[in-house]
Structure 1
Amino acid sequence: MEFNSYWYLGLGVLSILLLIYVYLKTRNPRSILLFLTMVGLGYIIEAVIYNFGHSYRYYPKLLMYDSFYDSNMGAIASNALALPIAATFIAVLRKNWLWILFFVCLFAGTEWLFLKLDIYKHNWWKIRYTVLGLLLVYFPLAKVFYSLLLQSLQGKLHSILLFLIISPISASFQFTPIMFFSNRYYELGWFETFSEDTTAFSALYYISACLFYVWIAKFPWKLKWLKYVVTPCLMYLLNLFLQKAGILHSQVWWDPWFYLILSVFVLKITVTISKHLTNGPQKNT
């Protein structure tokens, strides 16, 4: 294992241990929903500044065959584990501003250290952007979201939280096979490599899919089973269109079937979580 890998794996393991601590401390499933919410928020931010903006680059050396997919693994350690778990810790355990300042300094220091170790590089990003984003937006929003998750949600707030919760589930199951098994890639000519194109288009793909899952889950179907037929059919037509347009290139036989099954799986999760958000925590815990 490479020197770089230990740092990223260590960051990921410590973060997971912190999440386990939060859950065992509270025994509250809403802590996991908040964690997913913060991952979902982080993914949207990353789609803008990292996937399309190429703000920074990670070098965890975990996927040696493709440098950009390897960078994505570093992004996962940071934005799918470390940051959202710290936000969950702060919000669920109701930590004050001193704790927020502590974590802001901790992440700024970690970012500085990774830069010095040459296992992470800024393109146009600055450490001060991280500090301001965490201090003024990300950590305070975690507290707001958690207070909302402790209520029975309806309307737009319900839809927003539901979207944020399911988006990391959809994105992770959609993109992880691409990085590890090269089952498909997207060709658009936006960037220099297929892996950059695929990463950027995958972000648009999962965001659009999740907006659809939220809509179809909340639509008042007379025949509830019908949505589980409509969803894979539309997914099949979408993939067929992308293939005919020369954008989608499937490289293994199971690729189309995997995404059809995934669409039904994520829809089922969306429906289940939607009910939990509507009922409120008292009826679920």
Structure 2
Amino acid sequence: MARSLINAAKQIAPESISLNLLAQSIQDSLAQVATNKTNIEDIIASKGAASGIATLDAGGKLNTNQLPALAIGDTVTVTTEAAMLALTTAEVKNGDVVVLNTGDIATQKTYCVVDSTKLDSLDGYRQLLFPEQGVAAIMRGGVAQTGQVSLAEVAFTGAAADLAFSNAGFIATNVSAALVELKAANDGLVEDIADVTDAVALKVSLADLKFNVALTGDIDGTNKVFALPEAAANDTLCVFWNGQMLKPTDDYSVSGTSVTMIGSPDAGDKVWANYVKAAA
């Protein structure tokens, strides 16, 4: 207002402007400047303060200490449902996750707190649903392992009848009886578990697997005949000369425990074999 009056004063004759009006306009403008200054100071002072203005960090995001509790959320673990229903608002709040870890995968559950005024009732929680889980852990070398486990890492010990289980699809309560039941379901015939036992007897035991077994015989650039410490099962022998696997018939022949090579290893060469021990 003062500026418009002053500009107007340049265009009209002297003594034609009211000095009182000009002074009042200047005072009003100064008062407005003071008010604006106070408002700006109030805005600056309210940054990050209660009922004030949220501030951004160096990355242009809200500071985490200015976010509501529901946006952060904590995780609390209990072992029984009774312990969960005994939680207080000092321990959990809306948005927190409560893990009911009973130690049994069949009863283990996870909840989200939806109403902290009803913590003593399931109405205060909402169960989080996940896909049905399979085996929680499997033992490997006496240590529980989680995640994917290959079939080669799974081993059962004891008699088949000792491997107990419970499954609604079977009357049987152990592996031995379940195999009989499964066979009957497939072709209507009930097979004795002895058939399975006989098949298992044909398996190769770990003790029969032989690796990096040195062949005995002179390594002098002349000798071609070497000996295995025991007979190898048919089609299981692999002979190596300085790390190179030799080809049967083309590079060597076998008779019992005797290995005859086409070439003669020189002094310092290494000759060894991998094989499965022949059945007694």
What TM-score range do you get, normalising by the shorter chain?
Answer: under 0.3
Structure with larger Rg: 2
Calculate the TM-score normalised by the size of structure 2: 0.19
Between Structure 1 and Structure 2, which shows a larger proportion of helix residues? Answer: 1
Between Structure 1 and Structure 2, which shows a larger proportion of strand residues? Answer: 2
Calculate the TM-score normalised by the size of structure 1: 0.19
